[in-house]
């Protein structure tokens, strides 16, 4: 239970929004292991008509019989066997399992809605603290801070341990 509390403290504080032409296309966040995309679905369309196809380097979302709403290459490859999507309360939640655990993504979609340098640095610091927490479950890293440039959580001190 204690580990869960620490993991929650170091989880994403807020979702990042990708806005195009003044409209929110999707929101997203990430952990060491995954990138999550959240799409508000249009009202009045039966949920069984929505579809999502997740490939190693591509995602497509839409309503059957219509052109796709999203049809883009992903920033980095994902593990398709452990990536999935669900619909709940009018929102599609796409969970993309990172192929490279600990790699900081600047955006789920290649070339679209990338984080600014400050936000990208904050994400990398948060993921580094998540890694410290995962490797040292008895300690509380939620108040830890980095001064200067944060190391890459994927490669720091020999890299992420694999189970």
Compute the distance between CA of residue 28 and CA of residue 95 in angstroms, rounded to an integer. 10
Nearest to 163 by CA among 134, 128, 138: 134
- pLDDT at residue 3, as a whole number: 46
- pLDDT at residue 121, as a whole number: 80
Query: Which of 3-7, 26-30, 124-128, 132-136 tops mean pLDDT?
Result: 26-30
DSSP secondary structure letters along the chain: -HHHHHHHHTS-SS-EEEEETTEEEEEEEE-SSEEEEEEEPPTTS-GGGEEEEEETTEEEEEETTS--SEEEEBSS-EEEEEEEEEEETTEEEEEEEESSTTPPPS-SBTTSSPPPHHHHHHHHHHHHHHHHHHH-TTS--TT----SPPPPTTTGGG-PPP-
Q: Are strands 23-30 and 78-88 parallel, antiparallel or unpaired?
A: unpaired
pLDDT at 107 over 60: yes
pLDDT at 108 over 80: yes
Cβ 29 vs Cβ 130: under 8 Å = no
Compute the distance between CA of residue 62 and CA of residue 68 in angstroms, rounded to an integer. 4
CATH node for 14-113: 2.60.40.790
Percent of the chain, pLDDT > 70? 90
In terms of Cβ atoms closer than 10 Å to its own Cβ (0-12, 13-18, 19+), residue 22 is exposed
Domain ranges (residues) in the chain = 14-113
Q: What is the pTM of this model?
A: 0.79
- Residue 9 binned pLDDT confidence (cut-offs 50, 70, 90): low
- Residue 2 binned pLDDT confidence (cut-offs 50, 70, 90): very low
- pLDDT at residue 140, as a whole number: 76
What are the pLDDT digits (tens) for 76-89? 999 999 999 999 99
What are the pLDDT digits (tens) for 11-59? 667 888 888 888 889 999 999 999 999 999 999 999 999 999 999 999 9
Backbone angles phi, psi at 93, to 5 degrees: -115, 115
């Amino acid at each position: 239970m204690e580990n869960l509390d620490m993991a929650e403290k170091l989880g994403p504080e807020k979702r990042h929004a990708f806005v195009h032409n003044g409209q929110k296309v999707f929101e997203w966040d990430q952990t060491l292991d995954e990138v999550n995309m959240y799409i508000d679905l249009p009202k009045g369309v039966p949920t069984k008509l929505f579809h999502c196809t997740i490939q190693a380097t591509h995602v497509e979302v839409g309503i059957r019989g219509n052109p796709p709403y999203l049809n883009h290459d992903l920033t980095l490859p994902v593990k398709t066997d452990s990536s999935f999507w669900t619909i709940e309360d009018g929102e599609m939640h796409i969970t993309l399992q990172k192929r490279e655990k600990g790699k900081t993504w600047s955006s789920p979609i290649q070339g679209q809605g990338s984080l600014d340098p400050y936000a990208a640095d904050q994400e990398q610091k948060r993921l580094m603290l998540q890694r410290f927490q995962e490797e040292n479950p008895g300690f509380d890293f939620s108040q830890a801070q980095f001064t200067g440039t944060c190391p890459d959580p994927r490669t720091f001190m020999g890299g992420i341990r694999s189970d």
